[in-house]
Amino acid sequence: QVFRLAREASCHVASQIAALIRKRSDENKACVLGLATGSTPVSVYKELVRLHRDEGLSFKNVVTFNLDEYFPMQSNELQSYVRFMNEHLFDHIDIDPANVHIPDGTLAEADVPAFCQRYEEQIVEAGGIDIQILGIGRTGHIGFNEPGSGPNSRTRMITLDRLTRNDAASDFFGEEYVPRRAITMGVGTISDATQIYLLAFGEGKAPVVAQSVEGPITPNIPATYLQEHPDARFILDEAAAEQL
Ligand code: GLP
């Protein structure tokens, strides 16, 4: 789906999320959201905050699972995804902190596999992800599933691609300070979501968007696996759709 402006696209996605939150709340049920970081989803979170503030949208029945986190990463560091989510969303809404899940970059390395397994169980215990929000990296990664990630991969530690570390360099004030690894939900974890919205804005994303939507399904571009998902949509602005 192509929108003229990124802001219109973001408002569309936010209103879909809000509608499901309200529907589930009327049914006295939880709404489980898979959330992403990066600059792309910021305007979706901004609109959700606005809906909370101006239109009384409550997040009391919302449970969230974030895709990924750098490793190692302390939660108060500038680049931490915990901090990112607090600043852009959680600090401004009425979500129960106990319902928020983000991969833990503060763990000892030996504890990561058990944490990842538990993360998968928590998603299942919550009833599975209803709506998953995704961005896309220039390598074609979703979450931090870099090229080489299989369709059945689960939450795990991965090694970041060179291009991804290069793209993150400005956030870390130099590529040498970008962590070499991250914890990410797997392609399989993401694909279990009922509905997926991948957002991509700007001409920089146009080549990888075209490959992801129209190219052959390949582990070299993990976003191509979304072609096999029954309800995955690419939400684009005109610039990102340019090469389709
Ligand atoms: C990081 C995140 C991804 C995100 C990507 C693109 O690698 N882990 O989830 O999709 O950045 O970021 P941006 O939206 O800033 O282009």
Dump the DSSP string for 62-127: EEEEE-EEEES--TTSTT-HHHHHHHHTGGGS---GGGEE---TTS-GGGHHHHHHHHHHHHHHTT
Mutate to test the pocket of ligand 1, among 39, 40, 45 (most ligand atoms within 8 A of CB): 40
Give nearest CA residue, ligand 1 atom 3: 143
Q: Is residue 164 part of a domain?
A: yes
Q: Is residue 125 part of a domain?
A: yes
d(CA 197, CA 194): 10
Q: Number of folded domains in the chain?
A: 1
CATH number where 49 lies? 3.40.50.1360
Instruction: Answer whether 170's CB lies under 8 Å from 210's CB.
Output: no
What is the distance in A from the centroid of ligand 1 to the CA of 39? 7
List 69, 146, 175, 238, catalytic entry: 146
Burial annotation 197-233 (CB, 10 A radius, 16+ → b, else e): bbbbbbeebbebbebbbeeeeebebbbbbbeebeebe
Catalytic residue status for 146: yes
Q: Is residue 57 part of a domain?
A: yes
The tokens describing 14, both together, are 């936010």
Ligand 1 atom nearest residue 136's Cα: 10
Residues contacting ligand 1 via CB (< 6 Å): 36-40, 67-68, 135-137, 143-144, 164
Q: Is residue 243 part of a domain?
A: no
Q: Is residue 244 part of a domain?
A: no
Q: Is residue 165 part of a domain?
A: yes
What is the distance in A from the centroid of ligand 1 to the CA of 165? 11
d(CA 216, CA 90): 38
pLDDT in tens, the chain (244 residues): 999 999 999 999 999 999 999 999 999 999 999 999 999 999 999 999 999 999 999 999 999 999 999 999 999 999 999 999 999 999 999 999 999 999 999 999 999 999 999 999 999 999 999 999 999 998 999 999 999 999 999 999 999 999 999 999 999 999 999 999 999 999 999 999 999 999 999 999 999 999 999 999 999 999 999 999 999 999 999 999 999 9
What is the distance in A from the centroid of ligand 1 to the CA of 26? 33
Helices and strands (H, E) in the chain, number of each type? 7, 10
Q: In what order do the strands lie in the sheet with 131-134?
A: 2-3, 232-237, 195-200, 131-134, 31-35, 62-66, 100-101
d(CA 236, CA 60): 30
Domain carrying residue 216: 2-237
